Amino acid sequence: MNPDRPSQPILPKVGLMLPGGGARAAYQVGVLRALADLLPARAANPFPVITGTSAGAVNATAIAVHADRFRVAVGNLERVWRNFQVGQVFRADTLSMLRSGLHWLLAMASGGWLLPPPRSLFDNAPLRELLGNQFDFGGIRRAITAGHLDALSISAAGYVSARSVSFYECRTGCEPWQRMRRAGEPTTLSLDHIMASIAVPFLFPPVRLEDEFYGDGSMREANPFSSAIHLGAQRLLVIGTRNDTLPTSPALPMCPSFGQIFGYMLDSLFTDGLYSDLERLTQLNQLVDRSGPLTSPSGGAGPGTGVQLKRIDMLVLLPSRDLSEIARYHVSSLPRALRVLLRAMGAMNAGGGQLMSYLLFQQSYTRELIALGYMDAMKRSEDLVAFMGGYPVSSSGATGIMRRLAARRGVREGLQQEKRAEAQ
């Protein structure tokens, strides 16, 4: 044991935060598999607070409904991801793709007179059926009652209110919250909440929850860590699906294709809020370290005496490889009709790997991502065990990631200055 560690740390309430990422979320499953192997065989869920967005909401729910046996929960989740086929997520057969294409064509050619505009590019009814068969949502309440779970939160974005809403089910004592463009609302979670959270704009249809239609939870989610903190998490394990600290190879300037632009949009949708909130929380932790616990001016939407701001330790696990590059090696496994569509969008060209990496719900790809997540987590097994046990992991947490990001920005700016000097 490290002599610098305290002998009996006070176990904190660890929250699990799973952001969106489409098919990339298979990486999260590999990390969770590694953690399950590091814990005792019959251990219950080690995360009192679990939050998920988009595809991360699926993984979060899978852990919550079987919170009494963490290894069983992860095993069930891994079995689904290891055997994924695109047809289990959305209809990608030739007839369905042709019907969708003709619908779009007739709607645009007639200005909506012959056919109304389609609700989405893909029909994700197969995913609704799959998740409906996999999840017993009553298990969430049973886990909370038995003490294996404090709260599960699933985020979605309202198209009318323009808010990011964290729908949560929790033990007594968790109060709802209101902030600018975001809110937390207690509810009884259902399949509709997951389908709303994964409703990526244009790709999948929006879902009605009560009196409003909702879309993918990554939209408007400027503070993805907030729901876990509001629900009582004292430190956060974050499993991302994109690593912006990885070096990128220089590319010739080319006009991006539609597929490349759409992949760029999905990348921004799923990761920009995560990195900006990571930077904000890192700066807040540094301020608390220097000044001690602080008090914010307001505790919510109405008047109040304020809330105390404390340090929130984070351990962030990110892929050690570029998942877009991995996706390019598995394109041939996609259904032919979907490959034709991606080729027409320019997603098969250089730079189109981002879009494919989010849509490649094929077992050859998801299995490689699970293996990568497992390997990355096992390389940091000491950090994981220490973090779950309440010990500090400062050098491997969010601060280290922000330093690497700053260093990469400095290198990029230096190269740009050199190019400008050469041009002059």
**What is the pLDDT of the chain when averaged over all its residues?**
85
User: Which pLDDT belongs to residue 395?
Assistant: 47
Tokens matching residue 352: 């189109």
Q: What percent of the chain has pLDDT over 70?
A: 85
The burial of 265, by beta-carbon neighbours within 10 Å (0-12 exposed, 13-18 middle, 19 or more buried), is given as middle
| Average pLDDT value for residue range 48-59 | 97
The pLDDT value recorded for residue 34 is: 97
Give tens-digit pLDDT for 180-217: 889 999 999 999 999 999 999 999 999 999 999 999 99
- Which residue has 């190019």 as its token pair? 419
Contacts (Cβ under 8 Å, ≥6 apart) of 47: 14, 15, 16, 63, 149, 237
Residue 379 has pLDDT above 60, yes or no: yes
Q: At what angle do helices 363-379 and 381-388 cross, to 10 degrees?
A: 70
- Residue 300 has a pLDDT of 43
Q: How far apart are CA 220 and CA 114, in angstroms?
A: 34
What's the pLDDT score for residue 23? 96
pLDDT at 290: 83
pLDDT > 90: what percent of the chain?
55
**Token code pair at residue 325:** 């590059």
What number is the average pLDDT over the span 158-186?
A: 93
| pLDDT tops 70 at residue 400 | no
Q: Which two structure tokens, joined as six digits, stand for 311?
A: 């340090």
Higher pLDDT, 410 or 54: 54
pLDDT tens for each residue of 302-311: 434 455 678 8
Class (C level, CATH) for 14-242+257-296+307-399: alpha beta
> What is residue 197's predicted lDDT score, i.e. its pLDDT?
97
pLDDT band at 9 (very low <50, low <70, confident <90, very high): low
Per-residue model confidence (pLDDT) at position 258: 81
* pLDDT at residue number 299: 45
Instruction: Summarize pLDDT for 97-113 with one digit per residue, the tens.
Output: 888 878 777 877 777 77
Tokens, residue 264: 């760029």
Residue 36 corresponds to which tokens in the numbers above? 């399950």
Contact assessment for residue 139 and residue 169, using Cβ atoms and an 8 Å cutoff: no
- Give pLDDT, residue 188: 97
What's the pLDDT score for residue 396? 47
- Predicted confidence at residue 413, as pLDDT, reads 52
Catalytic residues: 54, 216
177-179 vs 182-186, strand pairing mode: antiparallel
Q: Report the range out of 205-214, 238-247, 260-269 with the highest average pLDDT.
A: 205-214
Q: Binning pLDDT at 50, 70 and 90, where does residue 397 land?
A: low
Tell me the DSSP string of 144-196: HHHTS-SEEEEEEEETTT--EEEEEEE-TT---EEETTEEEEE----HHHHHH
CA–CA distance from 137 to each of 148, 206, 279, 421 (Å)? 15, 21, 34, 61
